[in-house]
Structure 1
Amino acid sequence: MQDATVPAELYVQVQQFYARQMGLLDDGRPDDWAGTFTEDAVFQEASRLDEPLRGREAIRASSRARQKRLDEQKIDFRHWLGMLDVSRNDDGSLRTRAYALAMRTPRGGALDIFASVVCHDHLVPVNGSWQVRHRDLHHDGSGRD
């Protein structure tokens, strides 16, 4: 069963986790970003991926390829997460729900909001921090929330 609320200290820890995790991705560090997922993680993004990515190495390979494309196209990419909701499971893991904006800016160009999504994560404690065991992204306009 999930608790309806979590203590403020835990909530802030989860916010810091996401700030660091998205910062790794936005700073062009795909290997470090992939390291924030469990070895057996699942990454679902139905509107963009035919099949979920399964395992940290598949997530790493996809992230590396994405970063290579961004570098070649000279695009800066940023993520903003907000409206974070956190609940704790009986086993100590967490379920989170957040809104995310993905923004891209061609170098010397104008900002483009690439996507607005709802992010559902299952976080598990690992060595005093958190890792994502399952991420499910639902793009606005896809008919899912």
Structure 2
Amino acid sequence: MTIHTAVQPQATGVFATLYAQVQQFYAHQMQLLDLGECERWAATFTEDATFDVPTLPEPVVGRAALATATSRTAAQLAANGTRHRHFVGMFDVAEQPDGTVGVRSYAIVYASQIGGESQVHRVCVCDDVLVRVSGGLQVATRRVTRDDLA
């Protein structure tokens, strides 16, 4: 994704609205994930979405597979007495000629042991392609890279 340094003056109001929509989308999506609302979180992706993360041997494809994978992780975290909180920001938002929205963001994942300490678990970069749907946005593709991996 290209990092943009300026917004066209004539598009400022439209861009500001899109940027606010993107921020709200990620705030809602990450809270669903952190609350273990796996089916609702998966519904923020397109039916055939791809989710490529370095902790899995291959990308996860489709809502059902996303819900299954996150449900498994949520169960493991609960069994270990651990909570994750995803803080996503530094959004670089770019409308694409095909109507999609490219978003590059930074994500910091905190791990908190219930009754214990909290610490930074991972620092990541997310490259997403969002599509407009009735009522909002959905992720069509997400590629996550981690700062601690080569």
Q: TM-score, normalised by structure 2?
A: 0.89
Cα separation, partners in 2 of 1:90 and 1:3, compared to 1, 3 Å: farther
1:127 maps to a residue whose letter is S
- For the pair 1:102 / 2:109, whether they are aligned, the reply is yes
**2:112–2:119 CA contact under 8 A, matched in 1:** yes
Q: 1:89 to 1:26 in 2, by over 3 A?
A: same
Does residue 1:20 correspond to 2:28, yes or no?
yes
Cα distance in 2 for partners of 1:45, 1:25 equals 15
Percent identity of equivalent pairs: 40
Alignment-mate amino acid for residue 67 of structure 2: R
Secondary structure at 1:7's aligned position in 2? helix
Aligned counterpart in structure 2 of residue 70 of structure 1, from 74, 77, 82: 77
Match of 2:61 among 17, 35, 54: 54
Instruction: Give 2:18's aligned residue.
Output: 10
Query: Which whole-Å CA distance do the structure 2 matches of 1:108 and 1:141 have between them?
Result: 27
The match for 1:37 is 45
- What is the rounded CA distance, in whole Å, between the counterparts of 1:80 and 1:65 in structure 2? 21
1:130 corresponds to which of 132, 137, 140: 137
Equivalent residues of 2:92, 2:104 under 8 A apart: yes
Change (3 A) 1:91 1:3: farther
Shift of 1:91: 2.2
* Structure 2, unaligned runs of 5 or more: 8-13
| Runs of 4+ in structure 1 over 6 Å off | none
SS of 1:51 mapped into structure 2: coil
Corresponding residue for residue 10 of structure 2: none
How many pairs were matched up?
141
Residue 73 of structure 1: CA displacement?
Answer: 1.2
User: How far apart in 1 are the matches of 2:139 and 2:89?
Assistant: 17
1:114 pairs, out of 121, 130, 134, with 121
CA contact (8 A) 2:3 2:92 kept: no
Post-superposition CA distance 1:88-115 (Å, at most 9, x none): 0122210000000011101001002110
Q: Which runs of 5 or more structure 1 residues have no equivalent in the other structure?
A: none
Contact 2:83–2:114 (CA under 8 A) maintained in structure 1: yes
